[in-house]
Amino acid sequence: MAAIELEGLTKDYGEVLATDGVTFDVERGEIFGYLGPNGAGKTTTIRTLLGFISPTAGTAQLLGCDVTDEGDLLEVKRRLGYLPDSPAFDETATGREILDLHASIKGDERSGELLDLFQPPLDRPVRKYSRGNVQKLGLVTTFMHDPELVILDEPTSGLDPLLQQRFTEFLRAERERGLTVFFSSHILSEVRKLCDRVGVIRNGRLVTVEPVESLLSRSGKFVRLHAAESIPAHALEIDGVHGLESERGAGSSAGSSDGTEYAFTFTGDINTLLDRLREYRLLDCSIEEAPLEEVFMRFYGDERTDAGSTDGDRVSAGASATDNGVGGDGDV
């Protein structure tokens, strides 16, 4: 039995179809990333899964329990940790009082080590906490009773880079202990470090479920070049160049108005690209991680394409990544 099973999960808010026939499983012991841009339906899926809102159609099972069965769900929640997108604690209580309350309800096997790790302030009222400190306290309350499944809605939001790294290492170690993790995110680097598989949701519809390596192999790099002279179109006809754009006389990155700037996403072999560019005088060059939005745009197209890419509730992988977007013999 999978830890989470969704079948045709649909939530209709009247004017908005927040989730539309979402179907996937999260296996025990895996870290599953649930990705999507703002408003895609991630929080709605999570809130339905936790029984906070009722599905309009479809079913959801959590550790084998139908989430619409309130009695069973209450029992299952003892084995579950949940971190909402904006943890809301009693603002007048101190961190210590909140931990005591959580400990009395669900247990406290691990708060000592979690406090060492995330270090939320404990002696002041929560209303005086920064966003990051609320998140730290939220992480302690999520894991303190040693749950077997955790559901995390954008867990690193508000955390500084050091804490993000600490959280990543913690989650990896927990996976080794057999924890199952379902977390939503729109940060590709976080997903890259942690996930075994990812589901991508957009406009309420699941557009793919696949191993993280296959998503990342298609995400590529975002490349900007500032060349002293125009680069002929054929020079950039390389497998893996997508969405090539150029602007003559841009020159902002090198502080002059000479030359031509090029920007594109690249999913090919970076050595092939660098070899090709060796013939041209570059004034500047940057290669960065492609933003996740870029991946959505390139592989899943607009809404009309989304509708065409799905196969019932189960979803096929996105379009191929071979179109390099370069044409003609002249300069680009």
Ligand X SMILES: Nc1ncnc2c1ncn2[C@@H]1O[C@H](COP(=O)(O)OP(=O)(O)OP(=O)(O)O)[C@@H](O)[C@H]1O
CA distance 81 to 147: 6
Residue 88 CB, nearest approach to ligand X (Å): 15
**Could you tell me which stretch among 1-9, 35-43, 116-124, 173-181 binds ligand X (CB under 6 A)?**
35-43
Helix (H) or strand (E) segment spanning residue 166:
helix 161-176
Q: Please state the closest distance from residue 84 (CB atom) to ligand X, in A.
A: 11
Of 204 and 240, CB closest to ligand X = 204
Helix (H, G, I), strand (E, B) or coil at 263: strand
- Nearest distance from C-beta of residue 271 to ligand X, angstroms: 37
Contact window for ligand X (CB under 6 A) among 33-41, 236-244, 258-266, 271-279: 33-41
> Residue 288's beta-bridge partner residues?
222
309 contributes a contact to ligand X by CB under 6 A: no
Contact 170, 136 (CB under 8 A): no
Q: Cβ closer to ligand X: 18 or 163?
A: 18
**CB of residue 159 vs ligand X: minimum separation in angstroms?**
17
For ligand X, the closer of residues 17 and 103 by Cβ is 17
Task: Enumerate the β-bridge partners of residue 34.
Answer: 184, 199
Residue of 36, 51, 95, 158 that binds ligand X (CB under 6 A): 36
Residue 218 C-alpha from the chain's centroid: 15
- Asked if 290 contacts 243 with a C-beta cutoff of 8 angstroms, the reply is no
41 binds ligand X (CB under 6 A): yes
Please identify, using beta-carbon distances, which residue of 42 and 102 lies nearer to ligand X.
42
Q: How far is the CB of 183 from ligand X (least distance, A)?
A: 12
Interactions with ligand X, residue window 58-87 (CB under 6 A)? 85
Token code pair at residue 102: 């959580």
Instruction: Give the number of other CB atoms < 10 A from CB of residue 330.
Output: 9
Q: Residue 190 and residue 209: Cα distance in Å, rounded? A: 17
Of 31-39, 99-107, 250-258, 269-277: span binding ligand X (CB under 6 A) = 31-39
Across-strand partners of 245? 263
CA 33 to chain centre: 6
Least separation, in Å, of the C-beta of 201 and ligand X? 7
- x/- map, 10-29, ligand X, by CB under 6 A: ---x--x-x-----------
Q: Give the interface segment with ligand X, choosing from 34-42, 131-139, 224-232, 302-310 (CB under 6 A).
A: 34-42
Residues across the chain: 332
Whole-angstrom distance, CA of residue 3 vs CA of residue 63 = 5
Q: Interface mask (CB under 6 A) for ligand X, residues 97-136, using x and -?
A: ----------------------------------------
* Closest CA relative to residue 194, chosen from 37, 46, 33: 33
**167 and 155 in contact (C-beta within 8 Å)?**
yes
Which of 39, 64, 327, 328 binds ligand X (CB under 6 A)? It is 39
Which of 10, 44, 142, 180 lies at the binding interface for ligand X (CB under 6 A)? 44
Number of residues that bind ligand X (CB under 6 A): 12
Query: Of 39 and 64, which CB lies nearer to ligand X in the complex structure?
Result: 39
Please tell me whether residue 231 adopts helix, strand or coil conformation: coil
Unique residue bearing structure tokens 């899926």: 45
What order of strands is seen across the sheet that includes strand 65-66? 17-26, 4-12, 57-62, 65-66
List of residues contacting ligand X (CB under 6 A): 13, 16, 18, 36, 38-44, 85
